[in-house]
Structure formats: structure tokens, C-alpha cells
Amino acid sequence: MRQPFLFYILSFFIFTNYNGFDGGKWSVCCYFCMENTIKMDFRTPIQIPRSDIPITHSSQLLLLGSCFSGHIGGQLMLHKFRVEVNPFGFLYNPLSISRSIRRLLSAVPFTEAELVFHNGLYHSFMHHGQFSDIGKSGCLRKISDRFESAADAIRTTTLFLITFGTAHAYRWKESGEIVGNCHQIPADRFLPVRLSVNEIVEDWIEVIGSLKEENPGVRFLFTVSPVRHWKDGAHGNQLSKSILHLAIDSLQQCFPDDVRYFPAYELMMDELRDYRFYGSDMMHPSPLAVEYIWERFSETFFSEETRKVNAEWSQIRNGLDHRPLHPGTESFHIFKAQLLQKLELFAARHPEISCEEEKNLLQLK
């Protein structure tokens, strides 16, 4: 049994008083103290059990929600998973996210009548500003490109990864609809609301039911974005995040076999509780924090085999990203040939992963 540290300090003084100060004895005593001192952990580690929902390169994934879903989605894309990421752009409140799913299920294309004009741009209230454009046709083209792809994929999606950002939302006064983005239109044209737990749960029970009718085996993974919505105030942000947590917990109880939760919020708030892990705005996670959360995500949902495939692909991707100083040299041609051979062997071993785009790019270099 280890003794309190104070015990060893007192022992040292007794030792030196009886034996006189001696450098060698001092070293032995200090080593003895350090070896037997209780080790301190300056973190609060989050214990995450291995999920019963495995994610493989054969899984069809659809990510919707706040910018945190973009971070995880970006990592999944880098590692060659079959994934659609935010086909409406970043969406923050649960009702806008559920509305986007309903629209994908209906497969009804967007029209000019659904666009609004403000500050020289055409916008969609269901989309992030990245889809806005100076012309109607340009805006609709951006929307349609992503919408058609996601509408085709939604019925074969095996896992939805949904990130709720905030329970605060805005209603467009002219129609009463909850908007996904206000596009800097004057605030007096919207009605601010805070969604309740019941509103969110009732809405998502209906959406999950519709998706399960299309695909009975579909599963759902929810997260709460660790990004604080500071414009709601510190207390308002906490209330909002609490509503989201309670809503997801209720959905887990309603669908115990199909709904899971990943504690990205808790990882950021507790394990990474230091401003070193935030970006310059002190709100968004830094690249290092995203990398850490991705690693914990990998441990939770990937088998050892999937992690090996990821590691193998990372080595190939590093080669593909290489930018030579002298591309015309013989050594670079040998490098390309060896990399192409690795790519072809990888594709042969993993036929579920498409590598055609990378092969074409490599041959064009």
C-alpha cells in the first residue's frame, strides 16, 4: 500500500538528521519518494465503450448538422468511406435538420419560387450560405448538384450521423417556417424561438419512423456539437445544449436498438478542457482537438481490420499529396510507378473502396 507523500518528506528529514547529509543517500531517498508517490492525472477521461454499430468501408453514411459533422465527415472522406456530408451545408437546429431529411425522402427538386434575394445574392432558407449565388440559376445549380446525389443515397444509407448544434431557431414571419440560415436578413423579419425537448423528440420520432419504413435496418448516431453558441449568452448556451442532450436521450429510449450517442461534446468539455484545444475564436475545436476526437471515434466504431485499412490508405494518400520539386526527374517517375502499384494492390484487396479517381490523378501527374 502506498503511503501519503508527506510520509516520505518526514522520512527524509528523519533520515538526514540521523545520518547527516550525504549526496548519495539524498539521491536514493528522492528516488524512493518519487517511485512511491501517488501519480496524478490532470484530466477527466471519458470512458467510451466499443459501439455495437460497426462502421466499415462498406457502410453507406449520411452526415447532417453543424460544422462538427463537417469535421468528422471530412475525416471519413479522407479515409475513403462511402459518405455524403451536409448536402444542405451546415445546419444547426434539430428541426431544420429533420426538414432536410424529409425533403431528400420526397426527392422534390428546389425551384426559383423558394429562393429569396438579399444583399445582391439569391439564397435558400434550407441551405447554408455556400449555396448562395448572384443568379437564380447559379444558386439552384449548386443546390441541385448536392441534392440529387444525397436523394439517391438516402434510401440505401445504413447509418445517419446527426449533429445538433443549438435548440435556438428562427421562424420566417412571412411563412412561419423554421429556417436553417437567416443569411443576414434583418432580424425583425424573423421570430426567435427556443425549441423544447418535446418538440424535437416528436419531430424526430416521425422522421426516424419514415426512414425505417424505407430501410428497416437503418441506424442513427447522434452527437451534440461542442461549439458554444455564444450569441445566446453563456447561460442560454448551456440551456440550449441541455435541451439537445435530453432530446437525444429520449430518442434513445424510444429507439433502443437503433439510436446511439457519441460524446463529442463531453470529450471537448472535459478531456480537452484547455484553450490550447480551441481555435483563434476560442469557440471552435482546433485541428489537434478534431484529430483527437476522430481518434476516439475510430476506437469506438472501427474494428481492428478497419483501422488497419485506414492506416494503409493514409500512407498511400501521403504519397498522392506529395508535391515534388522536380517532377521531370527519373526518380519521380519511379516514385509514381511504385505508388500506382501500391494503389492497384490496395484496390484489389479492398474492392468495396473506389480508387479510380486517385489512379486517374496519378497518371496525369
Evaluated on CA atoms 265, 268, 270, 274, the torsion sign reads negative
At 37-51, the pLDDT tens digits run 566 767 788 999 999
Does residue 7 surpass a pLDDT of 80? no
Q: What percentage of the chain exceeds 90 in pLDDT?
A: 77
Q: Which set of grid coordinates corresponds to residue 305?
A: 481490420
Q: What is the pLDDT of residue 326?
A: 80
Q: What is the pLDDT of residue 332?
A: 87
Q: What is the pLDDT of residue 38?
A: 60
**CB-based contact 105:178 (threshold 8 Å):** no
Kindly state the helix (H) or strand (E) to which residue 96 belongs, with its residue range: helix 94-106
Return the pLDDT at 39: 65
Q: What is the mean pLDDT of residues 67-88?
A: 94
Residue 327's pLDDT band (boundaries 50, 70, 90)?
confident
Structural domains of the chain in order of their starting residue, each with its CATH number: 5-36 (no CATH), 60-302 (3.40.50.1110), 311-364 (no CATH)
Residue type present at position 251: L
**pTM across the whole model:** 0.86
Quick: pLDDT tens for 158-188. 999 999 999 999 999 999 999 999 999 999 9
| Alpha-carbon separation of residue 90 from 97, 178, 311 (angstroms) | 9, 15, 29
Chain position carrying cell 414571419: 173
Residue 328, pLDDT score: 81
Q: What is the pLDDT of residue 363?
A: 76
pLDDT bracket for residue 291 (50, 70, 90): very high
For the chain, give the mean pLDDT: 89
Q: Which amino acid is at 59?
A: S
Taking only the tens place, the pLDDT of each residue in 184-224 is 999 999 999 999 999 999 999 999 999 999 999 999 999 99
